[in-house]
Amino acid sequence: MPAFSLHPGDSVAFIGIGVMGRSMAAHLIKAGFSVRIHTRTAAKAAELLAQDAIWCDSASEAVRGAKAVITMLGYPDEVRQVLLGSKGLISACIAPCLIIDMSTSEPSLAVEIAAAAKARGLDALDAPVSGGDLGARNAALSIMVGGDAEAFEAARPLFAAMGKTIVHQGPPGTGQHTKMANQIAIAGNMMGVMEALLYARRCGLDPEQVLASIGSGAAGSWSLNNLYPRVLRNDFAPGFYIKHFVKDMGIALSEAKSRNLRLPGLELAHSLYSDYMQAGGGDEGTQALYKALDRFNGAK
């Protein structure tokens, strides 16, 4: 149970200034928190430094004196190294301090992080997000949180600065399990959205007119209304990287397998995305599934 609360003016370390992390950190600055940042590529931090973020030469320096540490990283092995490694941030934090991993990672790792934090008198939350680059830019993320209820309440001012839907799911690991459910739903939906667009085009329909009809009906979804139009503009830049989505689906499949659960829709999406990634498309956005399906059917 944290013996503190978080308020504007408090020092927050933010590690991981990527496509989404950059916007998330900016919202914390706007909310009045003193944000300390470190990233391997200093140029990525320029925009935040111009907004009064504090540059630190190392992650350990960033967490020095911080009341909260937020990580937003790409892969579970990065999360493990940054938080639990021989020079991990948990060992560098001084209580009271709240560790919040907002990466999409393995539920079992979230449980391990929470135990390691507790052993040092700290609290830890797993708080992955959904909403992509648009949600991050608009402070409209859905934040799904696992961990102690008191720690969740302490972190609420931080979450409120970055998201709109903020739900405490339960004990450590439940935030990550919820994110897996989210990714499973997105994988199936993305298949439907991009197959619908491919079908519309192959039938000679105007895809914008098709969207006007189906976007507000029973087929409507965030992916349909936000990513379908990007494909129409030939925009395959990442709001969320394919390489990260493949990682997420792999985690979900592993979790499902451990429960003797078959998810055939997820298996197919994972296979198609993995093949496209292996062909060099890993740094494109998830909407590039359209190109994979187009090629699968003999691109015209």
Residues 166 and 190 both lie in one domain: no
Total count of domains within the chain: 2
**CATH value at residue 271:** 1.10.1040.10
Catalytic choice (67, 179, 247, 291): 179
Q: Show pLDDT as tens, one digit a residue, over the chain (300 residues).
A: 445 789 999 999 999 998 899 999 999 999 999 999 988 777 888 999 999 999 999 999 999 989 999 999 999 999 999 999 988 999 999 999 999 999 999 999 999 999 999 999 999 999 999 998 899 999 999 999 999 999 999 999 999 999 999 999 999 999 999 999 999 999 999 999 999 999 999 999 999 999 999 999 999 999 999 999 999 999 999 989 999 999 999 999 999 999 999 999 999 999 999 999 999 999 999 999 999 999 889 876
**Angle (deg, nearest 10), helices 264-276 and 289-296:** 90
Total-model pTM: 0.94
Separation of alpha carbons 6 and 11, rounded Å = 9
Position 250 in a domain:
yes
Residue type, 33: F
Report the C-alpha gap between 131 and 137 in whole angstroms: 10
Please give the residue range of the domain that contains residue 256. 181-296
Polymer length in residues for the chain = 300
DSSP states along 141-207: EEEEEES-HHHHHHHHHHHHHHEEEEEEEESTTHHHHHHHHHHHHHHHHHHHHHHHHHHHHHTT--H
Same domain for 113 and 167, yes or no, is yes
Active site residue 87: no
Q: Is residue 55 part of a domain?
A: yes
| 41 and 169 in a common domain | yes
Q: Give the integer Cα–Cα distance in Å for 66 and 93.
A: 8
